């Protein structure tokens, strides 16, 4: 085992409530191919809240950064991690995508849309990765994101009963993701969200109400939030 990987294990802050994200970013942005491969060699099905979990996270983010010149291959290879039982492993997929999106937005959207036909955790990864304020600077990109959010949200219209754990995870992410997109492009975002707010499905109504609680929307347009909250109750 190399010294840098030993350093990750010793300084992961796991087990514990928070992993060492500062170290994750520092390592991932400077990792060699051999170091990334060594990190990923720690992968297994049971990594929850362990130093090894942190090392795999570093490997996933490092892999994305190291291979940002081939977006299609990179997203294909990290897709399996999006469905891991560990929420931190799943989150590292979102972080990795965020790290390579800035200069590859068209390719990212094209290839991530393929995940929309996948499972609920893959859909969750799309929302978690793209609903990041630093990425939402271009109108065309946000408009594409709004359409993606619309499609994923409307999948809940088919569900009336109890949600599975994975569906709950997706719903929770949609419960804040919309607000990030709306705040970055208010006019178009509000129009798209108002259409969603008209649905009577209880899961969609939950998504609407959760987003309307977010301070970023209250700061953006408090009257609009209050009006939509009132109409959503009817």
Q: Which pair of tokens denotes residue 14?
A: 């796991």
In the chain, the largest separation of any two C-alpha atoms, in whole Å, equals: 61
pLDDT band at 231 (very low <50, low <70, confident <90, very high): confident
Do 114 and 225 have their domain in common? Answer: no
Do 48 and 121 have their domain in common? Answer: yes
Do 198 and 167 meet the contact criterion of CB atoms below 8 Å apart? no
| Mean confidence (pLDDT) of the chain | 97
As a whole number of angstroms, the distance between CA 143 and CA 150 comes to: 11
Per residue in 93-152, pLDDT (tens digit) is: 999 999 999 999 999 999 999 999 999 999 999 999 999 999 999 999 999 999 999 999
Do 29 and 125 have their domain in common? Answer: yes
Per residue in 89-107, pLDDT (tens digit) is: 999 999 999 999 999 999 9
Q: Where does a domain end: 84, 109, 130?
A: 130
Do 177 and 132 meet the contact criterion of CB atoms below 8 Å apart? no
Do 73 and 153 have their domain in common? Answer: no
As a whole number of angstroms, the distance between CA 77 and CA 83 comes to: 13
As a whole number of angstroms, the distance between CA 17 and CA 101 comes to: 28
Do 50 and 66 meet the contact criterion of CB atoms below 8 Å apart? no
**Distance set, CA 186 to CA 69, 144, 162, 170 (Å):** 33, 14, 33, 23
Do 185 and 101 have their domain in common? Answer: no
Do 124 and 63 have their domain in common? Answer: yes
pLDDT at site 29: 96
Do 104 and 160 have their domain in common? Answer: no
Domain total of the chain: 2
Per residue in 164-202, pLDDT (tens digit) is: 999 999 999 999 999 999 999 999 999 999 999 999 999
Do 118 and 229 have their domain in common? Answer: no
Q: Provide the residue range defining the domain that includes 178.
A: 139-234
Do 8 and 79 have their domain in common? Answer: yes
């Amino acid at each position: 085992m190399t010294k840098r990987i030993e350093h990750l294990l010793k300084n992961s802050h796991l087990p514990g409530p928070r992993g060492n994200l500062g170290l994750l970013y520092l390592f991932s942005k400077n990792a060699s191919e051999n170091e990334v491969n060594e990190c990923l060699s720690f992968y297994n099905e049971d990594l929850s809240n362990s130093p090894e979990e942190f090392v795999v996270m570093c490997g996933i983010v490092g892999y994305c950064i190291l291979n940002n010149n081939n977006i299609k291959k990179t997203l294909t290879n990290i897709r399996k991690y999006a469905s891991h039982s560990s929420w931190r492993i799943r989150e590292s997929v979102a972080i990795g995508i965020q790290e390579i999106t800035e200069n590859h937005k068209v390719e990212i959207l094209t290839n991530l849309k393929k995940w929309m036909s996948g499972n609920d955790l893959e859909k969750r990864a799309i929302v978690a990765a793209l609903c990041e304020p630093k990425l939402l600077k271009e109108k065309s990109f946000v408009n594409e994101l709004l359409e993606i959010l619309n499609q994923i949200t409307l999948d809940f219209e088919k569900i009336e009963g109890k949600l599975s754990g994975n569906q709950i995870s997706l719903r929770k992410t949609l419960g804040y993701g919309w607000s990030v997109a709306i705040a970055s492009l208010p006019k178009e975002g509000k129009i798209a969200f108002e259409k969603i707010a008209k649905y009577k499905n209880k899961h969609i109504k939950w998504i609407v109400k959760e987003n309307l609680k977010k301070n970023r929307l209250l700061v953006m347009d408090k009257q609009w939030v209050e009006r939509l909250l009132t109409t959503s109750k009817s």
